[in-house]
């Protein structure tokens, strides 16, 4: 610089960038000042905890998605008539006009090969595959009348999480983060953990769509680096990383002042959050120090990847103020051989899910947490394939079961009812839009008021539909 200018004219980088920007932009910057102010305001408030539209029933959500669609008829829906008519041809009136993902010829009815029994004071019926969940049956609200519009995995998963069957919309967790922020400034407001490869909609199930990307789910891993690219490269100290971050954020701040783009504010916020996470995440993920009885309760094995480990981490996350935790577990797409495929999946999940409920209750956290167990659709009450010994079930969108546990809902309660074959809903139908509206309501959010302006109109999670299922509220 001194080669071209007298020493007294030397200026620092920040001044040079700032003054040159002014010289280029000139008076054009003035109209951008409101946008700049809004972007800076968004930066300040994007992830800060904020009040909802009404008094909340719960503070956080743990959303358990059984990717592929669990067989509710073999886990939660005992149908004596279906058992009696096992092997009969599916009734003509049900088959006529029916579209299924794989079955093309009129099939036979398929009763469950598993026995059911009642549990707890509520007498909730559960399959023999779920003995541990039976111990906490009185904490559950079963929704046996959920319906969706999609019968293929990717669009159904998108609808289940974003309220829309195509890519590009924000997920439920992102809407929750946008509406409520986080109670912990050192961790993301929305965390995702996966077991197995999540096919179908993939990371769009926790994407932020058109919302600021600060609200998208952050994927945590239980083996290797907990969060990819979070740790410092070899030879880079924490102090040096802080200096680098400060310089980058100064440049981003200059750009933000010029153009007022809220995504720049998001970038600054995320860099700062990542730096704070470098201290917070290792402590969070080190659950080896949990007492022995907790590891026994969940069936956890520190250092290995498992759904049980993720359930324990979910408790540790909500304990630290994380707003929305999503656990995705792959392997529930039972098109064939339910008797061989379903029991091991239930063994992997039954114990840790029951442990999560017990653990949260013992810590006084269950009343302020909502646990959601569900999938993108259910399974048919008919046989897929001709081999009865290796019977499977196709996708079923018109009637399936999910359940809730935690604060603000009736306990040991069944909402909705299907016909005697478990095929169609005959009482209290609940669309996915209604499901989302109810979850948001429990969090203190009005689904009709939780909107975001995009492409000339206000969008919301429930689109133009959705009603809160008040009959299941406590």
* Residue 153, in any domain of the structure: yes
User: Are residues 177 and 243 located together in one domain of the fold?
Assistant: no
User: Are residues 421 and 370 located together in one domain of the fold?
Assistant: yes
User: Are residues 233 and 218 located together in one domain of the fold?
Assistant: no
The pLDDT value recorded for residue 287 is: 83
Distance CA 307, CA 65 (A): 11
The pLDDT value recorded for residue 253 is: 72
Q: What is the CATH number of the domain that holds 396?
A: 3.40.720.10
User: Are residues 157 and 127 located together in one domain of the fold?
Assistant: yes
* Residue 417, in any domain of the structure: yes
* Residue 3, in any domain of the structure: no
Of 237, 257, 288, the last residue of a domain is 288
The pLDDT value recorded for residue 21 is: 41
User: Are residues 449 and 398 located together in one domain of the fold?
Assistant: yes
The pLDDT value recorded for residue 208 is: 96
The pLDDT value recorded for residue 34 is: 47
User: Are residues 100 and 233 located together in one domain of the fold?
Assistant: no
Domain that holds residue 259: 9-45+229-288
User: Are residues 375 and 243 located together in one domain of the fold?
Assistant: no
User: Are residues 274 and 344 located together in one domain of the fold?
Assistant: no
Of 288, 315, 335, the last residue of a domain is 288
User: Are residues 209 and 322 located together in one domain of the fold?
Assistant: yes
Averaged over successive runs of 10 residues, the pLDDT of the chain (474 residues) comes to 39 45 37 44 63 95 97 97 96 92 92 97 98 98 97 96 96 97 88 88 95 91 62 64 66 72 67 61 80 96 89 95 96 93 97 98 98 97 82 96 97 98 97 98 98 95 96 96
The pLDDT value recorded for residue 3 is: 39
User: Are residues 128 and 38 located together in one domain of the fold?
Assistant: no
The pLDDT value recorded for residue 276 is: 67
What is the domain count for the chain? 2
pTM above 0.75, yes or no: yes
Q: What tokens appear for 106 in the block?
A: 């009129």
* Residue 2, in any domain of the structure: no
């Amino acid at each position: 610089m001194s080669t071209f200018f007298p020493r007294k004219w030397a200026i620092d980088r920040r001044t040079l960038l700032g003054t040159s920007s002014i010289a280029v932009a000139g008076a054009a910057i003035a109209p951008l000042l409101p946008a700049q102010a809004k972007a800076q305001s968004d930066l300040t408030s994007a992830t800060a905890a904020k009040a909802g539209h009404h008094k909340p029933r719960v503070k956080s959500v743990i959303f358990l998605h059984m990717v592929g669609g669990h067989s509710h008829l073999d886990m939660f829906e005992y149908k004596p008539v279906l058992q009696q008519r096992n092997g009969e041809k599916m009734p003509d009136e049900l088959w006529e006009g029916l579209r299924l993902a794989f079955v093309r010829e009129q099939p036979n009815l398929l009763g469950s090969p598993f026995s059911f029994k009642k549990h707890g004071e509520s007498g909730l019926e559960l399959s023999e595959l779920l003995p541990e969940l039976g111990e906490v049956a009185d904490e559950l609200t079963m929704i046996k009348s959920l319906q969706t519009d999609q019968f293929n995995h990717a669009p159904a998963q998108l609808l289940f999480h974003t309220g829309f069957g195509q890519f590009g919309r924000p997920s439920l967790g992102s809407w929750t983060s946008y509406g409520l922020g986080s109670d912990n400034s050192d961790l993301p407001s929305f965390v995702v953990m996966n077991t197995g490869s999540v096919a179908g909609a993939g990371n769009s199930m926790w994407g932020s769509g058109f919302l600021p990307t600060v609200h998208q789910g952050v994927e945590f891993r239980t083996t290797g680096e907990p969060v990819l690219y979070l740790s410092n490269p070899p030879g880079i100290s924490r102090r040096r990383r802080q200096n680098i971050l400060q310089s980058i954020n100064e440049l981003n701040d200059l750009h933000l002042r010029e153009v007022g783009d809220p995504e720049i504010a998001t970038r600054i916020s995320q860099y700062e959050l990542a730096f704070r996470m470098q201290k917070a995440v290792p402590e969070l993920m080190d659950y080896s120090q949990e007492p022995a009885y907790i590891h026994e309760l969940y069936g956890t094995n520190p250092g290995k990847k498992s759904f049980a480990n993720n359930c324990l981490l979910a408790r540790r996350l909500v304990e630290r103020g994380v707003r929305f935790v999503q656990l995705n577990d792959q392997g529930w797409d039972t098109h064939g051989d339910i008797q061989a495929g379903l029991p091991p999946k239930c063994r992997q999940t039954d114990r840790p899910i029951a442990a999560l409920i017990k653990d949260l209750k013992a810590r006084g956290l269950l009343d302020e947490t909502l646990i959601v167990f569900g999938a993108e659709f259910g399974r048919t009450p008919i046989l897929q394939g001709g081999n009865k010994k290796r019977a499977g079930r196709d996708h079923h969108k018109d009637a399936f079961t999910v359940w809730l546990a935690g604060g603000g809902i009736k306990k040991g309660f069944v909402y909705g009812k299907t016909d005697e074959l478990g095929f169609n809903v005959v009482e209290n139908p609940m669309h996915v839009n209604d499901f989302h509206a109810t979850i948001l309501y429990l969090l203190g959010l009005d689904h009709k008021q939780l909107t975001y302006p995009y492409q000339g109109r206000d969008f919301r999670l429930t689109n133009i539909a959705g009603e809160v299922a008040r009959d299941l509220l406590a």
